[in-house]
Amino acid sequence: MESIIIQRIRQLLEARGESINAFAAAINMKQTTVNNYFLGKRSPSFELIDSILASIPEVSAEWLLRGNGTMFLADTAKPTDEVAALRGELNGVYNALRILGISLQPQQKKAAV
């Protein structure tokens, strides 16, 4: 029986539209090693999980390991319309200040956001 983590990795390949070979290259592993995971010759290892999460940072570790949440972090990290509008207004203020010759220090910008 295939490991639930390997099933999720298969879902990830499908979502990315990749072959095993392309996926192996994306996560910096040998194609034969990745094939062995899919064939059940190797159990999912820390090396495999770490390579996926390091090479594809938009993948949710919580989803990959536990099946909780969404596959991609961007799915849950979308700003609300209100936050997006406020960020747009703030950028307008920064641009107006820049035109007036006023610049904020980096820590002031962070505090404002």
Question: What are the tens digits of pLDDT across the range 26-54?
Answer: 999 999 999 999 999 999 999 999 999 99
Confidence of residue 91 (pLDDT cuts 50, 70, 90): confident
CA-wise closest residue to 56 among 23, 7, 21, 19? 23
Q: 59 in helix, strand or coil?
A: strand
Q: What is the per-residue pLDDT for 75?
A: 59
* CA dihedral for 49, 50, 55, 56, sign (positive or negative): positive
Confidence of residue 97 (pLDDT cuts 50, 70, 90): confident
Question: What are the tens digits of pLDDT across the range 49-78?
Answer: 999 999 999 999 999 999 999 999 875 555
- Domain 4-76: top CATH class: mainly alpha
State what percent of residues in the chain have pLDDT above 90.
62
pTM of the model: 0.65
Mean pLDDT over the full length of the chain: 84
